[in-house]
Structure 1
Amino acid sequence: MALTPEDVVNKRFTITKFRDGYDLDQVDDFLDEVGIELRRLEAEANALRQENEELRDRVQSMEANEFAQPRSAFSGADDIEETVVTHAEPVVSAPTPAAPALAGAGLATEASKSSGMLQLALELHDKHVRDGEEKRDALIREGESTARELVSDAQKQRADELARLNGERAELQGKIKELREFEGEYRSTLRSYIQGQLRGLDGSPEPEGAPAGLD
């Protein structure tokens, strides 16, 4: 799927819960700049394409006129030649006029020069269009690479954070287990101690001079 400027601007990344990765404002600013540049290049490329089409139409029109003008010039030369022959003396043959032919050749040369200049202009505009498209494609590739790198870094940071939390949880669970075992041992020891003390009290002789009514 091709990446559009809107895709770059509207791209959203998952925010980590425990530790931030890249600065979100900087990432958003960078993606906004990439989107603006892509839109500018796309508009420039469209304008150059339209201008290129207009120049091609002008070249075709000039080429059509180039073929039409020499025929018109030579036709005019034939008419002049007929007029000269009609009014010439019967004995002296009139020379063939060269001016119309030279005029036709001059028109053809000028048309050829104009066509060459327009062709050069077309080539220059084609080069500008190619350069703009190459720059646009390079920016798209750079934006895609940066987006992939950001996503990969965010995923790696998330995995590292989860691994760290899992390690801490396992450590806490181990400590809880140790505390419970200690508590069980302590309760058992305390119970044995109290029971021993009670048995000692039950087996001890009555003290002399005990108050009356206790035996």
Structure 2
Amino acid sequence: MALTPDDVVTKQFQHVRFKEGFDPDEVDDFLDEIVVEWRKALTENDELKAKIAELEAGAAAAPDAPAPAPAVEEAPVPAPAPAAVPVEGAAATAGILELAQRLHDEHVAEGKAQREQLVAEAKAQAAVIIGDAEARGRDEIARLEKE
């Protein structure tokens, strides 16, 4: 599957029953797909830049055929320049991964906050139900004692 930026933007996750938010496993799987596809793109990019550097070095060495020895040895010097681009690509990848991790953390935090809210509401509702049941029980006992 070729992953595009549009895939990242338009990805829809299924909502889980009984709680709001996204299925954490599904989100993690999608992030794994992003990482795999991004790494493939970076590797391909590095390979293409290395080929370009080779071709440029070969083209530069061809006109200077009588003195290619120093020029050929200096040809690998431009190779570090393309290596700087993967560092930028790595920084971009790291930024994307950081963003994805931050979004993941936000969704998890929202889920935990909502869980706490639901648990608190359930406990309050349980306390009301228990209070009502105890009051009815006392009323019933009082009624039966009067008989």
TM above 0.5, one fold? yes
CA separation of 1:92 and 1:121: change in aligned 2, threshold 3 A: closer
Task: Tell me what 1:90 maps to.
Answer: 66
Task: Tell me what 1:159 maps to.
Answer: 137
The C-alpha deviation readout for 1:56-83, integer Å capped at 9, x for no partner, is: 5444332211111111111122222223
The C-alpha deviation readout for 1:112-147, integer Å capped at 9, x for no partner, is: 111111111122112111111111211221122122
Segments of 5+ residues of structure 2 without an aligned counterpart are 1-16
Return the TM-score normalized by structure 1: 0.50
Task: Tell me what 2:95 maps to.
Answer: 117
Aligned mates of 1:92, 1:154 — CA distance in 2: 96
Contact 1:66 1:111 in 2 (8 A): yes
Task: Tell me what 2:106 maps to.
Answer: 128
CA separation of 1:117 and 1:91: change in aligned 2, threshold 3 A: closer
**Percent identity over paired residues:** 9
- What secondary structure sits across from 1:87 in the alignment? coil
- What secondary structure sits across from 2:66 in the alignment? coil
Contact 2:57 2:75 in 1 (8 A): yes
Q: Pick the structure with greater CA Rg.
A: 1
Matches for 1:16-95 after TM superposition, within 5 Å: 42=20, 45-46=21-22, 56-91=32-67, 93-95=69-71
Task: Tell me what 1:7 maps to.
Answer: none
